[in-house]
Amino acid sequence: MVLSACETGVGEVVGGEGVMGLPYAFYVAGNKNTILTLWKISDEITTEFITSFFAKLKAGVGQIEALTATKREFLKKGGIYSNPKFWAAFVLYGV
């Protein structure tokens, strides 16, 4: 599952339980892998990031490798794309 909206990976600390949020809820519901974001992100650059990520998945690249390759691709693009605030927010929970 991919949730590319802002701050979908942020949860709330619950005493005795740890951090509770969407990743945990999806895990309990049976989802094994979820890509979420940790902070507010640009809609335009997110569209490019997710498109590139899914192209790699479609080509048969595994989830971890596709996410890592997409982050490296953006880092190497230069300009605003190389700024981590545009690509480092994406994290994979699960696997």
CB atoms within 10 A of CB 69: 15
pLDDT in the model for residue 35? 85
> Is residue 85 situated within a structural domain?
yes
Task: State mean pLDDT over 7-20.
Answer: 58
Task: State mean pLDDT over 36-45.
Answer: 87
Q: CB–CB of 87/81 below 8 Å?
A: yes
Q: CB–CB of 6/37 below 8 Å?
A: yes
pLDDT in the model for residue 33? 85
pLDDT at 13 over 60: no
> Higher pLDDT residue, 6 or 50?
50
Q: How many domains does the chain have?
A: 1
Q: Kindly give the residue spans of alpha helices, DSSP state H, lying in the chain.
A: 22-28, 43-58, 63-77
**What tokens were used for 51?**
């498109």
> Is residue 3 situated within a structural domain?
no
Tell me the CA distances in angstroms from 72 to 10, 21, 52, 81, one per residue in order: 23, 28, 11, 10
> Is residue 17 situated within a structural domain?
yes
> Is residue 68 situated within a structural domain?
yes
> Higher pLDDT residue, 1 or 81?
81
